[in-house]
C-alpha cells in the first residue's frame, strides 16, 4: 500500500448496509520484485488457488455456524407454531439432510487431494443451502420479518436483526467467489470432461 504509485480503496456498501469489501484501484502502482506472490507470471495460478480456498477449505468451519443458524430457525418455528405447517416441516427436514450431506462431502474432501471439482461442489452446495435457509427463516417469521428493529428514519437506516442480515447477505452467496453458473462450468469441463464452452461467441 505504501509503494510508488496510487492505490485507492473504495468500500462497497451492500444491501445489508455494511461494507465488508472494497474496490481497489491501482494507478501506476509498482511493487518490489521480491514482493510478487507466486513469482512473475504466476498470478493466474495464485488467484485460482485462492479461489479454491475461498470456495472449499475456508468454508469447512462455516458449517458449524450453519448448524447453529438452522437450530435457531427450528426453535423459532416451534415457538411460533409454524412447525405445524407441513411445508415448513418438509423444508426444515430437507435443510437438515442437506447439511449432513455437506458435512460428509467436507470430510470426504479432507481425506482426498487433487480433485479439481471439490471446491466447486462445496460452493454449489453451501451457497444454495444458505440462501434457502434465509428464505425459510423469513417464512417462519411471517410479516414481522419485514420490519426493522430500529428507527429507519434515523442516521442508521440499515439497522437489521440477525435474521434479516442473514437473509439479505445470503443473496450474494451464489455470486461471490464465482457464481453458481461458473462452478457448474468448472465441474462440466474439468471433472466431467464435457466440451469446453465456446469463447468469445456472442
Ligand atoms: C458480497 C460480495 C463480495 C465480493 N467480494 C469480492 C472480493 O473480496 N474480491 C473480489 O475480487 N471480488 C469480490 N466479489 C466479486 C465477485 O467475485 C463477482 O461478483 C463474481 O465472481 C461474479 O462476477 P461478475 O459480478 O463480474 O458477474 P458476471 O461475470 O458479469 O456474470 C453475470 C451473470 O452471468 C453469468 N455468467 C458469466 N459468465 C458465465 C459463463 N462463462 N458461463 C455461464 N454463466 C456465466 C454469471 O453466473 C452471472 O449470473 C464479491 C461479490 C459480492 C456480491
- In this predicted model, what pLDDT tens digit does every residue of 165-181 receive, in sequence order? 999 999 999 999 999 99
Identify whether residues 105 and 9 lie together within a single domain: no
Pairwise CA distance, residues 47 & 39, whole Å: 12
CATH number at residue 142: 1.20.140.10
Domain assignment of residue 143, yes or no: yes
Domain assignment of residue 201, yes or no: no
Pairwise CA distance, residues 160 & 151, whole Å: 10
Active site residue 54: yes
Give the number of other Cβ atoms within 10 Å of residue 126's Cβ. 24
The residue range of the domain holding 2 is: 1-35
Is a pLDDT exceeding 70 seen at residue 155? Answer: no
Domain assignment of residue 28, yes or no: yes
Identify whether residues 67 and 148 lie together within a single domain: yes
DSSP state of 158: T
Residue 81, Ramachandran bin (φ over 0: left; ψ between -120 and 50: alpha; else beta) = left
Domain assignment of residue 198, yes or no: no
Pairwise CA distance, residues 78 & 140, whole Å: 9
Domain assignment of residue 197, yes or no: no
Pairwise CA distance, residues 145 & 117, whole Å: 37
Q: What's the N-to-C CA distance of the chain in angstroms?
A: 39
Identify whether residues 98 and 145 lie together within a single domain: yes
Identify whether residues 73 and 133 lie together within a single domain: yes
Identify whether residues 30 and 50 lie together within a single domain: no
Lowest mean pLDDT across 57-66, 154-163, 179-188 = 154-163
Pairwise CA distance, residues 16 & 191, whole Å: 36
Lowest mean pLDDT across 25-34, 92-101, 140-149 = 140-149
Identify whether residues 57 and 23 lie together within a single domain: no
Domain count, the chain: 2
Residues with CB under 6 A from ligand 1: 14, 21, 172, 175-179, 181-182, 185, 197
Domain assignment of residue 199, yes or no: no
Question: How far does residue 142's CA lie from ligand 1's centre (Å)?
Answer: 31
* Beta carbons within 8 Å of 19's beta carbon, 6+ residues apart: 11, 12, 13
Identify whether residues 161 and 76 lie together within a single domain: yes
Domain assignment of residue 29, yes or no: yes
Residue nearest to atom 32 of ligand 1 (CA): 179
DSSP state of 137: H
pLDDT bucket at 112, cuts 50 / 70 / 90:
low
Per-residue pLDDT at 131: 97
Q: What is the pLDDT of residues 13-25, one digit of tens each?
A: 888 888 889 999 9
Domain assignment of residue 81, yes or no: yes
Q: What is the pTM of this model?
A: 0.88
Identify whether residues 112 and 52 lie together within a single domain: yes
DSSP state of 29: -
Is a pLDDT exceeding 70 seen at residue 110? Answer: yes
Give the number of other Cβ atoms within 10 Å of residue 164's Cβ. 21
Identify whether residues 59 and 146 lie together within a single domain: yes
Burial class (CB in 10 A: 0-12, 13-18, 19+), 73: buried
Q: Which of 20, 34, 54, 98 does the annotation list as catalytic?
A: 54
Per-residue pLDDT at 116: 74
Identify whether residues 70 and 120 lie together within a single domain: yes
* Beta carbons within 8 Å of 48's beta carbon, 6+ residues apart: none
Identify whether residues 78 and 11 lie together within a single domain: no
Residue nearest to atom 44 of ligand 1 (CA): 181
The average pLDDT across 6-18 equals 91
CB 141 within 8 A of CB 80: yes
Residue nearest to atom 28 of ligand 1 (CA): 179
Residue 131 host element (H or E): helix 118-141
CB 32 within 8 A of CB 8: no
Identify whether residues 48 and 105 lie together within a single domain: yes
Amino acid at each position: 500500500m505504501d509503494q510508488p504509485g496510487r492505490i485507492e480503496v473504495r468500500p462497497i456498501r451492500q444491501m445489508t448496509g455494511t461494507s465488508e469489501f472494497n474496490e481497489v484501484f491501482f494507478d501506476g502502482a509498482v511493487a518490489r520484485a521480491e514482493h510478487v506472490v507466486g513469482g512473475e507470471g504466476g498470478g493466474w495460478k495464485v488467484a485460482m488457488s485462492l479461489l479454491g480456498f475461498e470456495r472449499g477449505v475456508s468454508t469447512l468451519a462455516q458449517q458449524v455456524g450453519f448448524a447453529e443458524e438452522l437450530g435457531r430457525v427450528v426453535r423459532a418455528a416451534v415457538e411460533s407454531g409454524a412447525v405445524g405447517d407441513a411445508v415448513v416441516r418438509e423444508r426444515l427436514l430437507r435443510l437438515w439432510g442437506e447439511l449432513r450431506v455437506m458435512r460428509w462431502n467436507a470430510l470426504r474432501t479432507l481425506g482426498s487431494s487433487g480433485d479439481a471439482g471439490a471446491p466447486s461442489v462445496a460452493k454449489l452446495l453451501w451457497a444454495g443451502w444458505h440462501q434457502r435457509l434465509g428464505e425459510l427463516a423469513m417464512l417462519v417469521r411471517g410479516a414481522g420479518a419485514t420490519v426493522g428493529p430500529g428507527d429507519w428514519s434515523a442516521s442508521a437506516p440499515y439497522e437489521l436483526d440477525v435474521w434479516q442480515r442473514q437473509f439479505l447477505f445470503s443473496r450474494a452467496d451464489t455470486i461471490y467467489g464465482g457464481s453458481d453458473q461458473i462452478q457448474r462450468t468448472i465441474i462440466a469441463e474439468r471433472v466431467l470432461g464435457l466440451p469446453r464452452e465456446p469463447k468469445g461467441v456472442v
